[in-house]
Amino acid sequence: MSEHAFDLGKIVTVFQMHFSKGLTIEGQAAIVDLVADVDDQYIVRFRGDDDDQTYERFVDRFGQENPEQYVREFNQRIGSWACID
């Protein structure tokens, strides 16, 4: 059984990982459905999108309280790991 931390209708920050930029904030989105059998995978609708436009995204439980700080700290950790030989 899959585990989901957020309820339908909850507004969350969606993060995206880029090869060149590291972790970035994709945007704020509303949870519109849960994806069965995949932990923390949701169908979301981003603010400003049409009502029928939805996307499937993994929503990280961490970083929801302070997304900018989470991105900054995550990218700093990734940068320090990338320098290890």
The H or E element spanning position 24 is strand 22-34
Looking at per-residue confidence, does 50 or 39 come out higher?
Answer: 39
Mean pLDDT, the chain, whole residue set? 89
Per the DSSP assignment, residues forming a β-bridge with 14 are: 27
Mean pLDDT of 19-47: 93
- Note the helical H segments in 1-85: 67-82
Q: Which residues, 6+ apart, have CB-to-CB distance to 63 below 8 Å?
A: 13, 15, 69, 70, 71, 74
What are the sequence ranges of the domains in the chain? 11-82
* pLDDT band at 2; cut points 50, 70, 90: confident
